[in-house]
Amino acid sequence: MAKGQAESDKTVCNHEATTTVSFDATAQGHIGHDKEPNTDKQEETISEDIHAANMKTDAEKDAMEAGEVAPTPDPNIVDWSGPDDPENPRNWSKAYKLTNIIVISLSVLYTNLATTMFAPGAATMQREFGFKSNTVEVLTITMASLGFALGQLFIPPMSEVFGRMPIYRTSSILYMGFTAGCARSTDVAEFLVFRLLTGMAAASYMSTGGGTVADLLPKEERGVAMAIFTAGPLFGPVLGPIVGGFVVENLGWRCSINILKSKAARLRKETGNPNLRASGDEQTPIKQLVLHALTRPMKFLFTSPIVALSSLYIAFNFGVTMLLFATFPTVYENTYQWSVSVSGLAYIGVGIGCAIGVITFAKLSDRLLNAEGGNYHAERRLIMMMFVSPMFPIGLFIYGWTTEYKVHWVVPIIGTAICGPGAVIINSSSQTYIIDIFGPQAAASALAAITLLRNLTGAFLPLAAPTLYANLGIGWGNSVLAFITVGFIPVPIYFYLYGASLRKRFPVEI
């Protein structure tokens, strides 16, 4: 929900005003409120509702200093009962918070298994349904990614309006139903439609999960959680072809606004006051809230250079990864005469590399962020990304040319293993950086912009693989992709040097 900042010190926040997201090097996700570059770390607010209350308090202090009477707080607003309120998710036990993060991360993992689990059996499906088309074969693998992309257009903003729990529950039910439809398909068109719908239903886990992490944890503790969460889109496609199936996980989650609504409902019953409502639960028509929320991802994408460049970088890397996943069976079956069942083992190299990337990011991300003691700089999230980014194109070069010249199969697998840490750390560092600078109040919409481009590229770039390899061969085909990836290597360096000034120069109006 957007909140506007007052034009003068006497004006209290108005929900219908335009909010400006303006961050400097020490900003911690607050909207419409800049800080000096060397301010000590402060606890990030769990939602913009609490932030609005802080803004209101500041306005009251300024008014009193000017000899004016501060506005009287609305007695019907239900907010947290202080910083130690046990109903505040930030105050839950570490074990409980970690359990919820793991459940959501496993949901991301399981739903992404569907993306490539079918890869080894695509040729068998061709024979059963009686079609022969390389493009359709790739579509059977990537159609779920297209569904993921389409889901980003409405699911994350809806979660910021209605809360995360209703979105998770509804998506889980739809996901199971559409998955059953895939299993019972009788022709390729029906299968592709259900694959698309399955991806749309699964989009809630991928796009909203980052917002859940931001709700639960302050920025200083997000490294491990984001490493676990962002590994799902990469580990899922790796494990899919190996295990040959996926598990549907049904979960729910409580976001802060829903907890406050429950608290307000309980207090209405206990006190008999029907006017009590949750902080942030504005009396704005649902239609207006939904339409406003739907435009937020596009505003982030088109008005923030940080979100735009991060989206392009993540999207291209993910698209190349999906291209590799979609073509591994064909490449290894044709080059090394592997059987359909054995070809699934080609994904092990990427899986090992991704595991190394997850462990590395989890161990070092928060440590690097807090290395300067009391001074917080969001750009320190990008340090690992700067050093690891070259690994992705290096791995592509090795994979492409060793398969071109039919070097022993273990060498191209080593090449894809080198790609793994690069893919994970590029993805994890970028998304954690975005969450840190935009905060929990806008994290879902900002990440939705990234996930939209990522999954569109993941859906369509693999379609170019048959033509790319047929015209250039595996060596030069992968080299072209690697050279493009090299062009993105300066992106984290640029953000590290100029990210703070970019946030001031290009604030996001939401």
What's the pLDDT score for residue 494? 93
490 pLDDT more than 90: yes
Q: Is the pLDDT of residue 415 over 90?
A: yes
Other CB atoms within 10 A of residue 307 CB:
26
Least confident of 14-23, 91-100, 149-158: 14-23
**CATH code, domain carrying 263:** 1.20.1250.20
Q: Evaluate if residue 402 carries a pLDDT over 90.
A: yes
Q: How far apart are CA 108 and CA 199, in angstroms?
A: 11
Pair (410, 478) in one structural domain: yes
- Quick check: 288 pLDDT over 50? yes
Any domain includes 17: no
What does the pLDDT read at residue 273?
Answer: 41
Q: 273 and 310, same structural domain?
A: no
User: What's residue 100's pLDDT?
Assistant: 77
List phi, psi (to 5°) of 291.
-60, -40
Give the end of a domain, one of 233, 251, 283: 283
Parallel, antiparallel, or unpaired for β 277-278 and 77-78? Answer: parallel
Q: Could you tell me if residue 7 is inside a domain?
A: no
Confidence of residue 372 (pLDDT cuts 50, 70, 90): low
**Mean pLDDT along residues 330-335:** 84
pTM of the model: 0.60
Say if 394 falls within a structural domain.
yes
Those residues whose C-beta lies under 8 Å from the C-beta of residue 494, and which sit 6 or more positions away, are 309
Give the pLDDT mean for 201-230: 72
**242 and 322 part of one domain:** no
Q: Which residue has the higher pLDDT, 414 or 451?
A: 414
Residue at which a domain ends, from 231, 248, 283:
283
Does residue 369 carry a pLDDT above 90? no
> Hey, how many other C-beta atoms are within 10 angstroms of the C-beta on 345?
16
Q: What is the 3-state secondary structure (H, E, C) of 99-165?
A: HHHHHHHHHHHHHHHHHHCCHHHHHHHHHHHCCCCHHHHHHHHHHHHHHHHHHCCCHHHHHHHHCHH
234 in helix, strand or coil? helix
Q: Is residue 61 over pLDDT 50?
A: no
CA 244 to chain centre: 25
Q: Are residues 221 and 309 in the same domain?
A: no
Q: Is residue 295 part of a domain?
A: no
Same domain, 245 and 318: no
383 belongs to a structural domain: yes
pLDDT for 460 = 82
Tokens representing 368 are 């690097």
Q: How many angstroms separate the CA atoms of 11 and 63, rounded?
A: 10
Query: What is the per-residue pLDDT for 403?
Result: 92
Please count the helices (runs of H) and the strands (runs of E) in the chain: 19, 4
pLDDT at 60: 45
Is the pLDDT at 479 greater than 90, yes or no?
A: yes
pLDDT attached to residue 73? 52
Distance linking the first and last C-alpha atoms of the chain: 9
Asked if residue 384 is part of any domain, the answer here is yes
**Whole-number percent of the chain with pLDDT over 70:** 57
**pLDDT at residue 252 above 80?**
no
Mean pLDDT of the 481-492 span: 94
> Of the ranges 274-288, 304-318, 331-345, 404-418, which one carries the lowest mean pLDDT score?
274-288
In a domain, 508, yes or no: no
Q: Which pLDDT does position 343 carry in this prediction?
A: 72
Q: Are residues 249 and 316 in the same domain?
A: no
Please say which residue of 283, 316, 350 terminates a domain.
283
Q: Which of 146, 112, 323 is nearest to 238 (CA)?
A: 112
pLDDT at position 101: 77
Contact 104, 212 (CB under 8 A): yes
276 and 314 housed in the same domain: no
Range of the domain at 317: 305-440+462-502
Statement to judge: residues 184 and 137 lie in one domain: yes
Residues 360 and 230 in one domain: no
Residue 198 token pair: 């399955």
pLDDT number for residue 462: 83
Residue 339 — pLDDT band, cuts 50, 70, 90?
Answer: confident
316 and 430 co-located in one domain: yes
- Mean pLDDT (the chain, rounded): 69
With bands split at pLDDT 50, 70 and 90, how would you rate the model's confidence at 21?
very low
Other residues' Cβ atoms within 10 Å of the Cβ of residue 485: 24
Helix axes 134-151, 122-129, angle to 10 degrees: 110
Calpha distance 195→333 (Å, rounded): 25
* 319 and 396 together in one domain: yes
Q: Which residue has the higher pLDDT, 457 or 77?
A: 457
CATH number at residue 375: 1.20.1250
Same domain, 232 and 269: yes
Q: Answer whether 218's CB lies under 8 Å from 90's CB.
A: yes
105-144: per-residue pLDDT in tens? 777 776 666 565 665 556 666 666 666 666 676 677 677 7
Asked if residue 361 has pLDDT above 90, the reply is no
Residue bearing the bigger pLDDT, 112 or 323? 323
Does residue 46 form part of some domain?
A: no
Question: What confidence tens digit (pLDDT) does each residue in 430-471 have?
Answer: 888 888 887 766 666 777 778 778 878 877 888 888 889 889
* pLDDT value at residue 85: 66
Q: How big is the chain by its Cα radius of gyration, in Å?
A: 24
Q: 375: helix, coil or strand?
A: strand
Domain count, the chain: 2
245: helix, coil or strand? coil
